[in-house]
Amino acid sequence: MSESGVLRIDRSDRIATLTIDRPEKLNALDAGVMDELDAAFTRLGDDEELRGVVVTGAGEKAFVAGADIRALAEVDPVGARGLSRRGQTVFRKIETFPRPVIAAVGGYALGGGCELAMACHLRVASDDARFGLPEVGLGTIPGYGGTVRLARLVGRGRALEMILTGDPVGAGEAERIGLVNRVVPRERLLEEARALLLRIARNGPVAVRSALEAVHAGLECPAPEAERLEAALFAMLAATADMREGTTAFLEKRTPEFEGR
């Protein structure tokens, strides 16, 4: 657990579960929570045994209901830019984390909470989850990468409708438009998120990291450059013990035993 107790970190089966634990504030993201998320992902990045991370929120009402509106109301333009860049930096650290990160979203994921979920690699939602970017109703726009990630996840038209109206969507609609990967009953939310991570963890760890890098970088550069990176990563993997083990195990009709090298 973090020192302040706002961010709980639990480990089991080489999976870390990060729980934002301030349900009385609907797990809203203030500066302290952002600092703890930043520090947690820095520490977890150094854990070579780690196979993945689940991010969730405490309580029944919200994953994360948004950012700290009181702080936003008092900020000047210089402070607003700093606030936005800080959030973008933390969420990019999550997006580029070298192991899979799954958001387990129950209840409200609004504003900064929706942006946090989108920064994770995959999203599992409970059937009562609601996603939205309501910032225009406050006279502002999403500032933690939401305008960028939502359009890439669901397409320009749907992203603009959500951003310009500020209207939230339910879990079923979020799944239909590609904002979430799957919807499950609330009581199975963490179980399903962990099961998905464990399924990924059975694969070659170096290959999983390389796939994350290829997809993330590929979305940020022209296709020919993305293909060159893919080829370079493919070549690098050919020199790993894991690829030799994986191909040999397939030919021998047995389960591979990957070592992560």
Specify the 3-state DSSP secondary structure of 233.
helix
Cβ count near 114 (within 10 Å): 33
Give the tokens for residue 185: 């009953």
192 is catalytic: no
Q: Residue 20: which of 116, 87, 98, 110 has the closest Cα? A: 116
Question: Angle between the 31-45 and 77-95 helix axes, to the nearest 10 degrees?
Answer: 30
DSSP letter for 44, please.
H
49 is catalytic: no
The single residue of 24, 60, 135, 252 carrying the catalytic annotation is 135
The single residue of 115, 187, 191, 252 carrying the catalytic annotation is 115
H helix runs in 97-222, sequence order: 112-119, 146-154, 156-165, 171-176, 189-201, 205-218
Which residue type sits at 98? Answer: P
Bridge partners (DSSP) listed for residue 109: 64, 131
| Positions marked catalytic | 115, 135
